[in-house]
Every structure is written in structure tokens, then in C-alpha cells.
Amino acid sequence: MSFKLLIDEIDNNIHKILDDLSVSDILFSVEPAKPGFGDVSSNVSFLLGKHFKKNPKEIADMLSEKYNQLQSTLVSNVESHPSGYLNFFANWEKLNQLILSESNLDYYGSVDLGKNSIIVVEHTSVNPNKALHIGHIRNIVLGDTISRILKKANYKVNVLNYVDDSGLQVADIIVGFRHLGFAQDPPNEKKFDHYCGDDIYVKTTEKYEQDPSLENIRKNILKELEDGTSEIAQFADKITRRVLENQIETCWNLGVYYDCLNFESQIIRSGLWNQIFEKLKEMNLIEFENNGKNIGCWVIRGENNDEDKVLVRSNGTATYIAKDIPYAAWKLGLVNDPFNYEKYDKLQPDNHILWQTTLVPNNNFKQNFIGEKVITVIDSRQDRLQKIITTIMSKFKSKQDVYIHLGYESVTLSADTAKTLGLNTDGKQAQMSGRKGLYVNADSVYDLLKNKTTDEIRRRHPEMSDFEIKQIAHHISVGTLRYEMIKQDLDKMITFDLTKSLSLDGDTAPYIQYAFARASRIIEKSTRIPSIDIDFSLLNDQFEINLIKTIGLFDMHVMDAAKNLSPKVIARYCHDLAVSFNSFYEHVKVIDLGNEKLENSRLCIVNSFKLTLEKALELLGITAPDKM
RNA sequence: GGGCUGGUAGCUCAGCUUGGAUAGAGUGCUGGACUUCUAAUCCAGUGGUCAAGGGAUCGAAGCCCUUCCGGCCCGCCA
């Protein structure tokens, strides 16, 4: 609680006044004010004006008069604005102290939305037959950021990555390895996932057009993958594990970690589908078609104008969507867990244990990764299928909102970037396609960013060691990439442009990180240890107050972001913090003032800013270096 | 054809969930600020029929309806 204390006080007092007027059931707002309108505003006069059929301004006059007679701790004055708004001015000497003290605590910004309940977040979920491209990164960064925010909102979060290791895309590269003569090891120490995606997958897909007999081979391989016993299946398993390892390296490099890897092949072989199939039949959620175009199939009826969806083909096999249902049910703990768990071969860089499912019996302690609620991060092209799963899950659980599909628009390539990949689009943006080789790999974007930032740092700091430069360049590159992926709303398409993505000015992570580095530098140079044992009355300059106010808004933004599953709220908050600080920095001197008390007071703000920004950036998975 | 979704400054986007003040950022362009705590910065200027039309409201970028334009989805593929 911080700025929220002021808002709560005002909210309570307005309620008291309304009680005196014998008015209830008015849902007025009490919000941080726009610049120039005090510190907090309320629209209560408009709503009350409606109630009493009076001019809002008259009501505001009456309310401000009544309010000023009340006991206030944190409000110094209330004004009625000619527009009808009620504007509150804070007692900053007191609020300064509250906010600055609070911001020094470890849990600053934490809110209790989750009440320590368990929630599953599934993201990434990429076919292990290629390297991660920039489109996958949006999913991964979104999922990771949401997980971090939910943890801050007091949820226990289980992060899952569903590895689709038995689909058609995997079959494709196996065709390449086994029938088109691709060597098992990549040339020139190329990363294995890049080799599989850039070379084998693309070229194998091209060959299908020239040689239709390959289609049959592919079909057979797909079947063997699902059975899982043949030599081919074992070979495929080796290949997909190797690709997966590379993909996970990319994720780890971006600061993304998981709790458990789930393998589609194991879900299929576990027999979970049969349990679910019976349950669907019992609950009359699916129907057997005796005639029509889907004769002989089990279907789920389409809602409003949607077509019926086939779950079980007339030959008795389950379709893609059907396979997703048992997994969704597993995540919610609606089926008996058929899995055992073992540790992933490598330790995650954050030292957090990564588990993976296995069907092989072992003596390990049984892990538990299910949740009372599930969030599945998948792009919005799957809205329709996800809606079917959402409906089924709420019926299984007899509860709404237990399964949440967090959809987002996909990442496309700008016309210029498509051109550099050999596709002329007449100035239009282009959908990425793994099949056609039309994508930008995440690793390459990272490398380009790192080269650029390394040059920049070297230019600014000729004295720095290569090791230090590389470390800083890493944080800036990861920050830049992550920030670009979440700063806009989920329903907005991201048009990725290689050149523009390398921009480090303006509304970017480096801008924010730079503000942090400036703060670090002030504290370092002052040679004093920041403390909250200061004279708060000295902090009354508009730039100081504005910065403290922004620091005080942290928890409210965390709440907003968690409630609405909207990570961009935190991105914008970090940017706001940096803007407030940069403005402060340009106008207010901190060290060498010849006034020890004032210097201590200002140093306290700088330190609070630094601590708060660090926590907020952590929610975005971004690290701010002390120098850059 | 049906469904979902977007349209706000030259460009990229906030604001819309919960209607109310002067519609905000970044970028671009123009000009200014580094012997000073790092100029990856700051300050100022420029730039808007909030896609169009209608409706309900004292009041609409926001709510309802219609239309236009863009994107995506609609297989016994995954």
C-alpha cells in the first residue's frame, strides 16, 4: 500500500459523506489525477448530479465543502473543478514518508489477488523440429511475463511447456533424415535446431511437391511416432530431444524458465484420451453421427453458426483437437495423473529444477503441476478450437473461467524484412512460415542486438573489460527484445522489421535501463549510504513529488496487470518511472549540494526509484545494469 | 457466406473493461541544452473530421446499430 492509501482514504471519506446524505449504490471512481488536476480525482459529482437532478458543479461545491470539514490524514485540500470533477491535493510531507519507506521493503508492489491459489501457465509449446523464430518469442515472453506478474499477485504458478513431439512437423524432418539423405549432424557447427528448421524442414517440404510418393512415407512415419515403439520412433525421439535442448537454450538466454516439460507423445501413449472419451460420452457433450457428411464420427456440436467439429474420425482415431482435451483436463487435475517425473538433464540458469514427464516408472517423489485455474498462451488463430476446450473444461469443472485461453495477434514480417528473405510483397507485410523458410530466428535477432549494443558500450566505455561489456550487452539485448514483445496490447499485430527492431532510443528497454544506470551512478558517486531516516519536508519540488508519486503507483499497476492479464501495463509503468526519473535528473541536482540534509533526502528518492524500477523490470524479465 | 479481431497525429501505439476536464506517448520533422550526478538524455515547437453515418444520453474516441477498409479462422490436417 502506498499511493493506494491516499485513494482508500478519499474513497472512505466520500462514502461517509454519501451515507450522511443517505445515498448508496453509487459506483463512483477515485483515481490518480491527470497532470494539472491535483493528485486524485473523483467523478462522484457527475453520478450524484444524476441522482439529485442537479448540476455536477453545484454538487462538487457542496462535496468539497463537506470534505474539507472532515478529518484528513493524507489530503491537504479538495477543490471542485468547474467541469464538475472533485480534485484532491495530497499532504505530500506525509505521503512522501509512506511511499519512500514502503518502497524500501522487499515485497513492495506485491498484491494479494491470488490468495496463494495455484495457477498453471502454459506457454512456448513449439514443435521440436526447428529453431524458435520471432513469432514464438512473443508467446514465450508473454507467458513468462504473465507468470512473473501472477507470482507478484500471490499466485503459486506452475509453468509448463507442452512439447508437440509427435506431430506432422516432426514427421517431416524425419523424412528428411531418413529418405532425403540429410546428415545427422549439422555442417559448420551450426546449431542443431537451426539446421533442422532452416535446412531439413524447408527442403523436405519443397520435395513433397516434386515427389508425391513421399507423402505416403510421411503418413507412415506419423503413425509410427504415435505408436512409439518402432526404431523410427526412437530415432525421432532422439532428434526432437536434441532440438528441444537448443530451443530451451534460447529461452533460458532470454531469462525464461519452466517448472515442467510435458510431451505430447506421452499424453497420447498414456491412454488419457480413453478416460476423457468416456467422460464426454457420459456427459452427453459429444454425439455419434448416423448420417450426413460426418457419418460414423463422434462430433461436438458447433455453437451459434459454427460447424460441428469432428473429435473421432470414422476410422476410430482421434483428431488434433481431441488430443488437446485430455491435456487440458490433466492441467486442471480432472484425470488421474498417469505420469512419473524426472529431472531434466540440465540445470536451469536460475537454479530452479526443471522437471519432465515420463511414462517409465521411477522412485522419484511424485510431483504435482496441476492448478485450480489454467492459462494457456496460444495465438488467436486458435481462438475457435480453444473456445471448444474452454467450454468443455467449464462443464467438466462445473465452473466458469477455470480454463483461460490467453490469445494474442501474431507477429508478421515487414515488407522490407520479407524482401531481405527473398519475398517481394508489394509493400505489404507478410505472415511468417516455417515451411517456406520465411521467418527471422530469435537467435539471430539477439546476435544482431548484441553486436550493436557491444559496439555502443565499447564506444562509451573504452576502459571496460570485454567480459563486462558482454554482460551489459546481453542485458540490454534481452531487455530490448522482451520489451518490444510486450509493450503493446495483445490484440495488436506486431510487424517485425529487422532494422527498426535495433532501435535503442525512445520507448525501448535501453531508455528505461539508462535511467536506472544514471540512478546507480548518483548513488555510487555520492559515497553516502541511502537511508530513509531523512527530512521528508525538504522534498517538495514538482520533479521530486512527481517521481515519488510514480513510485507510489507500483502496486496499483501490478493489480491491474494481474487482473486483466495485461503485461503491457507493467511495461508502460516502467516507462513512466523512467520518464519521471529522467525529468528529475535533468532538473534536480543530488550530489555536491553543500547541504547534507537535502542531499540525503534526494538520495533517498533516487534509491527508492532504483529499487522500484528494479522490481518492476523483474516482472518483465529485464535486468538493468548499473553502467551502460 | 459465417465467426473473431483491428481502424486514434506522416509512421508505431496508449486511452475504451467502469461515458465527463485540455484526446496522450514514442518516432519523424524544426529549433534549443553536454568544462556539471553518463546527451541511449532533456526542453520547446510541429502534427488529430478518434474510419464513416446514425441512435440512446445533459454529455461519446469510449455504449448500441449500420456501413466501409485491413488481418485472422472456418479439414475425418496438425
C-beta of residue A45 within 8 angstroms of C-beta of residue A80: yes
A200, A174 Cβ separation under 8 angstroms: no
pTM exceeding 0.80: yes
CB A432 within 8 A of CB A439: yes
Burial class (CB in 10 A: 0-12, 13-18, 19+), A91: middle
Interface residues 302-331 of A with strand B (CB < 7 Å)? 304-307, 309-310, 313-315, 319-321
Same-domain status, A367 and A356: yes
- Within a domain: A424: no
Q: What domain count does chain A have?
A: 3
A84 CA from B53 C1′ (Å): 31
Respond yes or no on whether ipTM tops 0.90: yes
Cβ-based neighbour number of residue A456 at 10 Å: 17
Angle at A574 between CA A548 and CA A29, to 5 degrees: 65
Q: Which residues pair with A299 in a beta bridge?
A: A287, A310
Residue A95 belongs to some domain of the structure: no
Task: Give the H/E segment covering residue A494.
Answer: strand A494-496
The residue from A381, A412, A443 where one domain ends is A412
Q: Are residues A288 and A391 in the same domain?
A: no
- Residue (of A555, A547, A548, A608) closest to A579 by Cα position: A547
CB of A3 nearer than 7 A to strand B: no
User: What pLDDT is attached to residue A490?
Assistant: 97
Decide if pLDDT at A231 tops 80.
Answer: yes
Is the shortest CB-to-strand distance from A46 to strand B under 7 Å? yes
Residue written as cell 524479465? A621
**Chain B bases under 7 Å from protein CB?**
2-6, 12-15, 17-18, 20-22, 25-28, 36-43, 58-59, 71-78
- Across A501-526, average pLDDT: 96
* pLDDT score at A192: 98
A544 touches strand B (CB under 7 A): no
- The set of cell numbers assigned to A239 is 532428434
Same domain for A80 and A225? no
- Residue A606 within any structural domain of the chain: no
Last residue of a domain, one of A287, A320, A353: A320
Going by pLDDT thresholds of 50, 70 and 90, the confidence category of residue A49 is: confident
A560-573 burial, b at 16+ Cβ within 10 Å, e below that, comes to bbbeebbbbbbbbb
Check whether residue A542 has its CB closer than 7 Å to nucleic acid strand B. Answer: no
Is residue A378 over pLDDT 70? yes
Q: What is the pLDDT of residues A147-169, one digit of tens each?
A: 999 999 999 999 999 999 998 99
Asked whether residue A591 is domain-assigned, the answer is no
pLDDT tens per residue across span A242-289: 999 999 999 999 999 999 999 999 999 999 999 999 999 999 999 999
Rounded to 5 degrees, φ, ψ at A431 are: -70, 140
Residue A72 and residue A13 share a domain: yes
CATH code assigned at A74: 3.30.1360.70
Instruction: Report the distance separating Cα A44 and Cα A46, nearest Å.
Output: 5
Quick one: A295 and A326 in the same domain? Answer: no
Q: What is the rounded distance in angstroms from the CA atom of residue A369 to the CA atom of residue A119?
A: 9
Q: What angle do CA A105, A110, A113 make, to 5 degrees?
A: 155
pLDDT of A212: 85
Domain CATH for A162: 3.40.50.620
What length is written for chain A? 628
Residue A235 CA to residue A225 CA, distance in Å, equals 10
Are A273 and A322 in contact by the 8 Å Cβ rule? The answer is yes
On whether both A256 and A355 belong to a single domain, the answer is: yes
φ/ψ region of A411 (left if φ > 0, alpha if ψ in -120 to 50, else beta) reads beta
- The pLDDT value recorded for residue A119 is 98
User: Residue A441 and residue A438: Cα distance in Å, rounded?
Assistant: 10
Q: In chain A, what is the straight-line distance between the N-terminal and C-terminal CA atoms, in Å? A: 33
Q: Are A109 and A9 in contact (CB under 8 A)?
A: no
Tell me the DSSP string of A225-240.
Answer: HHH--SHHHHHHHHHH
Whether residue A63 is contained in a domain is answered as yes
SS (H, E, C) A100-166: HHHCCCCCCCCCCCCCCCEEEEECCCCCCCCCCEHHHHHHHHHHHHHHHHHHHCCCEEEEEEEECCC
Q: Is the CB of A572 under 7 A from strand B?
A: yes
Contact A482, A620 (CB under 8 A): yes
Distance A606 CA to B1 C1' (A): 61
Please check whether residue A192 lies inside any domain of the structure.
Answer: yes
CA angle A43, A575, A562 (to 5 degrees): 65
Distance of CA A285 to the CA centre of its chain: 33
Residue of higher predicted confidence among A543 and A426: A543
**Is the model's pLDDT at A32 over the cut of 80?**
yes
Q: Within this chain, do residues A151 and A191 fall inside the same structural domain, yes or no?
A: yes
Closest C1' nucleotide to A311's CA: B76
Residues 222-261 of A with CB under 7 A from strand B: 222
Q: Which amino acid is at A385?
A: L
Clarify whether residues A226 and A346 are in a common domain.
yes
* A135 and A30 share one domain: no
| Helix, coil or strand: residue A496 | strand
User: Residue type for A203, please?
Assistant: K
Looking at residue A1, its pLDDT comes to 63
A559 inside domain = no
Name the domain boundary from A290, A320, A350.
Answer: A320
Are A417 and A497 in contact, with CB atoms under 8 Å apart? yes
pLDDT higher than threshold 90 for residue A475? yes
Residues 330-369 of A with CB under 7 A from strand B: none
Same domain, A137 and A231: yes
Q: Which residue shows C-alpha cell 462430433?
A: A299
Give pLDDT, residue A122: 98
| Helix A168-179 × helix A213-227 angle, to 10° | 120
E strand intervals along A290-441: 298-300, 309-312, 340-343, 355-358, 373-377, 403-406, 411-413, 430-431
In single-letter form, the type of residue at position A435 comes to R
Does A266 lie in the same domain as A181?
A: yes
d(CA A202, CA A478): 28
Distance CA A158, CA A331 (A): 10
> Which 105-144 positions of A have CB less than 7 A from strand B?
none
CA of residue A514 to C1' of nucleotide B67, angstroms: 48
Give CA A60 to chain center in angstroms: 41
* Residue A627: pLDDT over 70: yes
Quote the DSSP letter at residue A199.
I
Nearest by Cα to A220 from A202, A229, A232: A232
Percent of chain A having pLDDT more than 70?
Answer: 100
Is the confidence at residue A304, as pLDDT, over 90? no
Nearest nucleotide to A507 (CA to C1') is B26
Q: Are A570 and A557 in contact (CB under 8 A)?
A: yes
| Confidence check: pLDDT of A464 > 70 | yes
Give the span between the Cα atoms of A228 and A624, in whole angstroms.
46
Which range of residues forms the domain containing residue A10?
3-90
For A567-614, the pLDDT digits (tens) are 999 999 999 999 999 999 999 999 988 899 999 999 999 999 999 999
Is residue A335 situated within a structural domain? Answer: yes
Q: Are residues A255 and A265 in the same domain?
A: yes
Distance A494 CA to B71 C1' (A): 12
- Which nucleotide, over all strands, has the C1' atom closest to the CA of A29? B18
**Nearest residue to B7, CA vs C1'?**
A492
CA of residue A75 relative to chain centroid, distance? 36
* Residues 269-288 (A) near nucleic chain B, CB < 7 A: none
Of all residues in chain A, the percent with pLDDT exceeding 90 is 88
